[in-house]
Amino acid sequence: MKTIKTALLLTALTLLLIFGGEAIKGPMGMTIGLVIAIVMNGVSYFFSDKIALASSHAQPVTREQAPRLYAVMERLAGKSSLPIPKLYVSPQPAPNAFATGRNPHHASVCVTAGLMQIMDDEELEGVIAHELSHVRNYDILTSSIAATLAGAVTWLAEMGRWGLIFGGYGGGNNDDREGGGITALLMLFLAPIAALLLQLGISRQREYQADASGANMVGHPYGLIKALEKLEAYNKQIPMQISPSASSLCIVAPRLGRNFFASLFSTHPPLDNRIEILKKMQITR
């Protein structure tokens, strides 16, 4: 069901680009915006792992340095028939973890020192299973596609606003300036907001999916539930130093706000919702 919702959100984002682009800048503008977004997000896709790891000050660790982490990772990767990702530890005290990399053969998983200190083996297993699920489900690729489409829509709207400043409506059909102009004006302001909300919706669905896939990978949701409960408590107290773009990769959003608008524009669903869904899971073998 979560996969279907993600597909529907990606379809809606694509349609927004097609029809919004036509209204704002016409077919040529839509094509240029898409090409620019693909180039920008292509760079991010291939180098996102280096950016995220560098921003969190993560360092690679050996089996001798982190035997417990390696033991859990090797067991779950073997169980899921996945290559073992490169393992990193960030020295930060805020407990968190993230996976990055463009596919299972170019994946990295990073945990913070704070997470390793507070998690028992069952909780650590739940966290690692969640991150491996992101790798197995190609969530970095899905997020990159969503970012590409949303970036193209935002670029078109920005160009349309500049067109208004210099005397044009930005519509693609000069023979229908009245209807196209009104549509273009609405799209200039509404399309970027809609694109952002759709992109956030995709990110949240991938978190729900990783929770479910991780629980199935382990065979029960209890370790992940306890881990999320701990992360919620500690996350309120200890800030994490990481770039905003990389923070969306974390298992819980660093510095997550508690007001309505912060939750509305968060890349992660509310932890209470995630925990409640996991408690209701029924895993059959």
**pLDDT at residue 283 in the model:** 77
Cβ neighbors of 99 (< 8 A, separation 6 or more) are: 85, 107, 108, 109, 110, 131, 132, 134, 135, 140, 249
Contact 215, 129 (CB under 8 A): yes
Q: Give me the amino acid identity at 162.
A: W
Q: pLDDT tier at 241 (50, 70, 90 boundaries)?
A: confident
Query: What does the mean pLDDT of the chain come to?
Result: 80
Long-range contacts of 174-183 (CB under 8 A, 24+ apart): 180/23, 183/23
Q: What is the pLDDT of residues 50-102, one digit of tens each?
A: 878 888 999 999 999 999 999 999 999 999 999 999 999 999 999 999 998 87
Percent of the chain whose predicted confidence (pLDDT) is above 90:
41
Q: What are the structural domain ranges in the chain?
A: 2-279
**E-strand stretches of the chain:** 59-60, 86-90, 97-100, 108-112
The per-residue DSSP string of 72-124 comes to HHHHHHHHTT-PPPEEEEE--SS--EEEE-SSGGG-EEEEEHHHHHH--HHHH
Q: pLDDT tier at 34 (50, 70, 90 boundaries)?
A: low
Q: What is the pLDDT of residues 143-201, one digit of tens each?
A: 767 766 776 677 677 766 666 655 554 444 444 443 456 666 666 677 777 777 777 88
Specify whether 74 is catalytic.
no
Q: Hey, which of 19-28, 35-44, 257-266 has the most confident mean pLDDT?
A: 35-44
Cβ neighbors of 167 (< 8 A, separation 6 or more) are: none
Spot the catalytic one: 131, 178, 232, 276. Answer: 131
Is residue 256 pLDDT above 50, yes or no?
A: no
Alpha carbon distance 243, 114 (integer Å): 18
Structure tokens at 27: 């077919």
